């Protein structure tokens, strides 16, 4: 049975892209795709597209160096599902992007880099010209003044992407922030453009914020929300796909197949959790409080002589605004007096013991400022 809300409310799952693993495993990828398709999830994000300087693709990964590597996984593509990949603005040579293949990825989600919208317009148009549906991620929208948001909306109305999403990058939003931003965006955004929300769970509000978004906008044409199964994601994680599907089923006349998501929780999530972790922590609480990239909090927790929450909070709260979303850790070079001194071997043993997180991917996130 088709979902009665399908034409105007969509659910997008980011489990494959957000789970912090370079080796998701091809068997797990295919199980995940099957479960999400069986659940009638509207849009599935298959992974991340980046250049070889950031990482080198290997079979079983959802971090791709070219679109063909993602298309390879869609040999049983469903006609009623959209498939996307995500890319950071300026991180991929779009001259290498082939024209859209009907049997492959349908849409590309382009993450805007703060202060670069005018330079990125050409990238956005290139994606459209090559036949892909364009979905724009407004990263760290909480750091923008209303006038800056309105300027970006003007640009969206000019290029007319399929979708535009406000992203709570640092998990710092509360429901009243969601409502405030809706009031800024909706009067300006072309009604034909899907409006989306992508939340993070630093304050355990990602699902509540997504439900607030749906509650306020459920009568608007063309909205969607992001989630991941069991909240899988970098750091604190994301809104839960299964909870959002249940909410839409119960309150907005949806008909997602929850049993298929329960199968994924049983058959895929345990093997992922053996390789990586995600979820609420004191460090993520503090980075959310200060609207700071989680990698700064992780860096301080790894390096401070006494990594107490009060000290981390003090340092993060005094960061200049322009450094809070900077993925490079150069800012901390003047704070060496606060850092511990130890041998490389001792430090490696301490870090491995403290957090179960795939180290090559951790370096990538530190470098890219995901997501």
Q: Is 2 part of a structural domain of the chain?
A: no
Most confident listed range (50-54, 164-168, 340-344, 366-370): 164-168
The CATH number of the domain holding residue 215 is 3.20.20.70
> Is residue 325 domain-shared with residue 214, that is, in the same domain?
no
Q: Are residues 80 and 132 in the same domain?
A: yes
What whole-number distance in Å separates Cα of residue 347 and Cα of residue 338? 16
d(CA 22, CA 240) in angstroms, rounded, equals: 21
Q: Are 319 and 292 in contact (CB under 8 A)?
A: yes
Q: Is residue 147 part of a domain?
A: yes
Output the CA torsion sign for 45, 46, 50, 54. positive
Look at residue 1 and tell me if it is in a domain: no
> What pLDDT is attached to residue 365?
52
Q: Would you say residue 4 lies in a domain?
A: no
Angle at 155 between CA 166 and CA 84, to 5 degrees: 50
Between 1-10, 34-43, 161-170, 202-211, the lowest mean confidence (pLDDT) is in: 1-10
Give the pLDDT score at 124. Answer: 97
Pairing of the two strands 43-49 and 63-64: parallel
Q: What is the pLDDT of residues 242-288, one digit of tens each?
A: 999 999 999 999 999 999 999 999 999 999 999 998 999 999 999 99
Task: Give residue 348's pLDDT.
Answer: 52
pLDDT higher than 90, residue 334: no
Residue 246 lies in a domain: yes
Q: Which of 273, 303, 318 is the last residue of a domain?
A: 273
Are 92 and 56 contained in the same domain? yes
DSSP strands (E only) in 300-366: none
> Could you say which DSSP state residue 115 is in?
T
Domain of 256, in residue numbers? 9-273
Residues 27, 64, single domain; the answer is yes
| Helices and strands, counts by H and E, the chain | 16, 9
Alpha-carbon span 64 to 197, nearest angstrom: 24
Q: Does the pLDDT of residue 363 top 80, yes or no?
A: no
Q: Rg of the Cα trace of the chain?
A: 20
> Per the domain annotation, does 194 fall within a domain?
yes
Where does residue 177 rank: exposed (0-12), middle (13-18), buried (19+ CB within 10 A)? middle
Please determine, for residue 154, whether its predicted confidence score (pLDDT) is greater than 90.
yes
- Answer yes or no: are the C-beta atoms of 154 and 127 closer than 8 Å: no
Beta strands in 243-313 (DSSP E): none
342, 217: one domain: no
Same domain, 266 and 287: no
Judge whether residue 367 has pLDDT over 60: no
Is residue 26 in some structural domain? yes
Tell me the pLDDT tens digit for each residue of 203-242: 999 999 999 999 999 888 899 999 999 999 988 999 999 9
Which tokens is 355 given?
A: 């957090």
In terms of domains, do 323 and 265 share one? no
The pLDDT of residue 343 is above 50 = no
- Based on the fold, state whether residues 75 and 218 are members of the same structural domain: yes
Tokens of 229: 């199964």
Q: How confident is the model at residue 328 (pLDDT cuts 50, 70, 90)?
A: confident
Instruction: Based on the fold, state whether residues 64 and 44 are members of the same structural domain.
Output: yes
pLDDT tens sequence across 126-138: 999 999 999 999 9
In this structure, the answer to whether residues 192 and 288 fall within a common structural domain is no
Number of independent structural domains in the chain:
2
Give SS3 for 349. helix
Q: Where are the beta strands (DSSP E) in the chain?
A: 9-13, 43-49, 63-64, 82-88, 107-111, 133-138, 163-167, 194-198, 223-227
Q: Considering the chain, what is the average pLDDT of its residues?
A: 89
Calculate mean pLDDT across residues 295-322: 90
51 burial (CB, 10 Å; 0-12 / 13-18 / 19+) is: middle
Of 273, 298, 326, which closes a domain?
Answer: 273
Same domain, 286 and 268: no
Answer with the one of 247, 273, 299 that is the final residue of a domain: 273
Neighbours of 94 (CB within 10 A): 18
Domain identity same for 66 and 183: yes
Which of 114 and 216 is assigned the larger pLDDT? Answer: 216
| Residue 341 pLDDT | 65
117-129 and 146-159 helices cross at what angle (nearest 10)? 20
Is the pLDDT at 356 greater than 60? The verdict is: no
Domain assignment present for residue 228? The answer is: yes
Is 347's pLDDT higher than 60? no
């Amino acid at each position: 049975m088709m979902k009665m809300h399908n034409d105007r409310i969509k659910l997008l799952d980011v489990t494959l892209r957000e789970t912090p693993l370079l080796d998701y495993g091809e068997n797990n990828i295919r199980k995940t795709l099957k479960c999400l398709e069986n659940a009638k999830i509207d849009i599935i994000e298959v992974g991340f597209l980046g250049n070889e300087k950031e990482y080198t693709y290997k079979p079983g990964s959802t971090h791709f160096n070219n679109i063909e590597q993602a298309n390879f996984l869609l040999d049983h593509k469903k006609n009623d599902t959209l498939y996307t990949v995500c890319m950071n603005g300026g991180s991929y040579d779009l001259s290498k992007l082939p024209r859209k293949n009907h049997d492959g990825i349908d849409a590309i989600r382009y993450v805007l880099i703060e202060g670069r919208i005018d330079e990125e317009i050409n990238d956005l148009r290139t994606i459209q010209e090559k036949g892909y549906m364009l979905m724009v991620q407004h990263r760290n929208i909480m750091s923008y003044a209303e006038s800056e948001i309105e300027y970006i909306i003007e640009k969206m109305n000019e290029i007319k992407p399929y979708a535009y999403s406000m992203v709570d990058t640092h998990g710092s939003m509360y429901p009243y922030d969601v409502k405030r931003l809706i009031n800024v965006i909706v009067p300006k955004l072309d009604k034909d453009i899907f409006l989306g929300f992508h939340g993070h769970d630093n304050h355990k509000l990602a699902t509540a914020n997504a439900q607030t978004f749906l509650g306020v906008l459920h009568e608007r044409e063309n909205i969607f929300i992001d989630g991941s199964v069991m909240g899988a994601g970098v750091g604190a994680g994301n809104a839960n796909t299964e909870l959002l599907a249940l909410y839409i089923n119960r309150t907005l006349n949806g008909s997602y197949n929850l049993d298929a998501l329960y199968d994924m929780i049983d058959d895929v999530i345990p093997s992922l959790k053996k390789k990586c972790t995600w979820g609420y922590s004191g460090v993520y609480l503090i980075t959310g409080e200060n609207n700071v990239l989680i990698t700064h909090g992780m860096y301080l927790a790894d390096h401070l002589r006494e990594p107490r929450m009060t000290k981390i909070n003090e340092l993060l709260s005094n960061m200049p605004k322009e450094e809070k979303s900077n993925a490079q850790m150069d800012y901390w070079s003047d704070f060496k007096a606060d850092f511990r001194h130890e041998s490389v071997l001792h430090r490696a043993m301490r870090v491995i013991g403290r957090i179960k997180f795939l180290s090559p991917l951790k370096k990538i996130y530190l470098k890219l400022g995901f997501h």
